[in-house]
Amino acid sequence: MDYKPDEMMTVAAARALKNSDVCFVGIGAPSAACNLARLTHAPDITLIYESGTINTKPNVLPLSIGDGELCETALTTVSVPEMFRYWLQGGRITIGFLGAAQLDKFGNINTTIVGDYDSPKVRLPGGGGAPEIAVSCGEIFITLKQTPRGMVDKIDFVTSFGFGKGGDERERMGIKTKGPSRLMTDLAIWEPDPVTKEFTVTSLHPGVTRAQMAETVGWEIKYADSVAETPPPTEEELTVLRDLKARTAAAHGGKTA
């Protein structure tokens, strides 16, 4: 089956999740990936959204954390303070799944502003719970479409901390969780170098070239010694994803989150 780059990204992200994971889900691409995993190879995954919904199983993708679909399909809903203090900061969540407006090579995320803070070109929605998710979940997965505007050498504002300037800075700051462990884009899969913590390409999606990669990233890309080719989406993965998107569009008047 033919597929689009964003479908490859969602499928690659979904495959990173396990049946046993407890996952704090971001809206948008992370939500699509997490629910694709739930509807295919990880039916028992526990999905948690920032509004306090635990083990939610939405039939359509939510437009926001306040979407009624999340509460209606959840096992239970707790208060936001309980969600953050007991579940998140209590170390009960294995994976935090985040998106980004800007991302640097050390996994630091900007969702606050583009440009100067006092006079920005664009004021973004902000961090919400992402700054706490980034430091309290066992590890962090990130999904992002590759563009020079999104993957930049220096982000304009650090909303959610990754590895700072690299190396052991995260540990020196007293953060005990693993941090960003995988970046899934529409072109590749990236993982942090064990020592420098710089994102390194470990797998290219089918048909993607290194020249194409260079045109979409604002820093000099590092590649693993052995770069794999990402297996293309299966017929099942594409069918389930497209059905989910179609249900979402129908439910939200053409908006697919």
Does 3.40.1080.10 match the CATH number of domain 5-186+231-251? yes
pLDDT bin (cut points 50, 70, 90) of residue 1 is: confident
Cβ 230 vs Cβ 12: under 8 Å: yes
Taking a C-beta distance cutoff of 8 angstroms, is the pair 175, 161 a contact?
yes
Tell me the chain's radius of gyration from C-alpha atoms: 18
| pLDDT (tens digit per residue) in 114-135 | 999 999 999 998 998 999 999 9
Domain ranges of the chain: 5-186+231-251
Give the pLDDT score at 17. Answer: 97
Long-range contacts of 123-131 (CB under 8 A, 24+ apart): 126/159, 127/159, 127/160, 128/50, 128/65, 129/24, 129/50, 129/84, 129/88, 130/26, 130/98, 130/159, 130/160, 131/159, 131/160, 131/161
Residue range 7-62, pLDDT digits in tens: 999 999 999 999 999 999 988 999 999 999 999 999 999 999 999 999 999 999 99
pLDDT digits (tens, 9 = 90+) for 131-170: 999 999 999 999 999 999 999 999 999 999 999 999 999 9
pLDDT attached to residue 254: 62
What dihedral angle (degrees, nearest 10) is formed by the CA atoms of 84, 88, 89, 90? Answer: 120
List the one residue out of 213, 194, 75 whose CA is nearest residue 151. Answer: 213
Instruction: Point out the residues that are catalytic.
Output: 50
Query: Is-contact 33 241, C-beta < 8 A?
Result: no
Residue 255 has pLDDT above 60, yes or no: no
Is 108 a residue whose pLDDT tops 80? yes
Query: Do 96 and 139 touch, CB atoms closer than 8 A?
Result: yes
Q: What is the per-residue pLDDT for 257?
A: 56
**What's the rounded mean pLDDT across residues 202-226?**
98
Residue 65 has pLDDT above 90, yes or no: no
**81-101 mean pLDDT:** 95
